[in-house]
Chains A and B, each alone.
Chain A
Amino acid sequence: MNTPNLYFAAAIGIFLSVLFFVAGYFYFRSRKATPANWEDLFTKLTWIDRNNIAQVALDLVDVNGQPKMDEDAASLEPSQLWNLIGGLDGLEVLERNSEVLIDLAFYVQRWYPEALPIAERLRLDARELKWHVARLRGAAEKGNLQISFPFYAQRAVVKYYVMTRRLLSLYEAANLSTLADLQRAL
């Protein structure tokens, strides 16, 4: 038997503990986050006022999601934006909903592998939305939320709006019977 190497034993102990902790944490997070069927996924969507979302988004982009170039663009005041979006809490709801939208898109892709490019684009959109919300969280910690909110929040809402339109088009294209429920929710 070799002379016990205490440094090695300690290092292996820490290494395995960290590995098991990280693996366990992400495993349970994924189990919790991904329901197996459409109904469970659907119930994870938090209700938000879609008229407010559309109003904020359409201030910057048109109904097809293309940026507006005319003089009417970006005409909403910061206080209006705050009220329509519901502040940082409202954005956090959008962030959570965007993750459900990705799961809903990947749900379609399970049946129709050809839908993968759209599901992947939705995923990237959601990552951009999260990025905007993260910037706002950082600004809130530094006390700069009021200055940053109108810029980042409105762009986050545009991302969410475009995502919902894409998801609805995807469900429409796939002729899924669940489209009507989704239209009501989004």
Chain B
Amino acid sequence: MLLTGLDFFFWAAGFVLHLGLLFVLWYRRRARFFPFFAALITLSVIRTIVLYSVHRYGTIFDYRYTYWSLAILDTMLQICVVYEVASRVFRPLDVWAEDVRSSFVWLVSLSLLVAFGLTWLSSAPGRTWMQNVTTKGNLFASSLLSELFVVMMALSINARLPWKTHVAKIAQGLGAFSLISVLVDTGQSYFGISREQPAFLLITHVRMAAYLGCVTYWMINLWPNEQPARMMTHEMRKKMFTLQMQVDYHLKDLRSRKKW
């Protein structure tokens, strides 16, 4: 496989930026709050090293096999990141907010159906079955992820559940990249997967550039701390605890009455 200087530039830039983001995640102690996101970025670093080694020392078959295997793992981790973001937003008290649970389940089901529908309608542009499966898989994943981020945003705003700064930044970056990926995957489905096609190369580079922008966005926004929390005094904590007990009691009491 012949790679151009621009391909190597994107490869190197991606590696450096991922290392930078990984540094931010560990040094600023974000990784323990976002383990799946940290795993996704770690995988990206490992993937670059592995793919470079396979490209240099392995066969084209080895490269394709490694590339698509890691791509599947990457997609699975992206879905885990969606879960991570959703659980931060919709589980404010470590249980799913009861008023959004059913809406969330049916909207996720609808998103899955739409993503399946789009994938089924798309053309099979590759020369081999593996290329076709992966192109369709990419389209499925990017359309599903972009839908899920919009669903999460709409549901949280509707239910007035606030987003913490870092969760919002991760979701915005991944959501925007998923939307761009839908366009890129549509383009690949239309133009086909062949490095001889200038259009294919162009849209592939657009996707890479968008992703680099996304990684830079995460680096910049995950570095500063969120709103600093103030510690309650013992007296304040006691008052808050009493209030919380009262609220719990009233809520149970009111809800136990059927006519309410």
Q: Please give the residue numbers on chain A whose beta carbons come within 8 Å of chain B beta carbons, in ascending order.
A: 1-5, 7-9, 11-12, 15-16, 19-20, 22-23, 26-27, 29-30, 33, 64-67, 99, 102-103, 106, 110-118, 120-121, 123-127, 155, 162, 166, 169-170, 172-175
Contacts and interface: CB of A to CB of B under 8 A. Distances in A.
11 contacts: A2-B123, A5-B122, A16-B182, A16-B183, A65-B246, A111-B227, A111-B229, A117-B93, A120-B92, A121-B251, A173-B236
A123 B99 CA distance: 10
A124 B243 contact: no
Given A2-B189, A121-B251, A26 B236 contact: no
Interface in B89-105: 92-93, 97-99
Given A16-B183, A117-B93, A11 B118 contact: yes
A145 B80 CA distance: 47
Contact of A118 (B98, B175, B179, B240): B240
Contact of B232 (A23, A27, A112): A112
Given A26-B153, A126-B160, A169 B243 contact: yes
Interface residues of B, number: 55
B76 interface: no
A15 B182 CA distance: 10
Interface in B128-153: 143, 146-147, 150, 153
B114 interface: yes
A67 B254 contact: yes
Given A8-B122, A12-B118, A116-B93, A173 B239 contact: yes
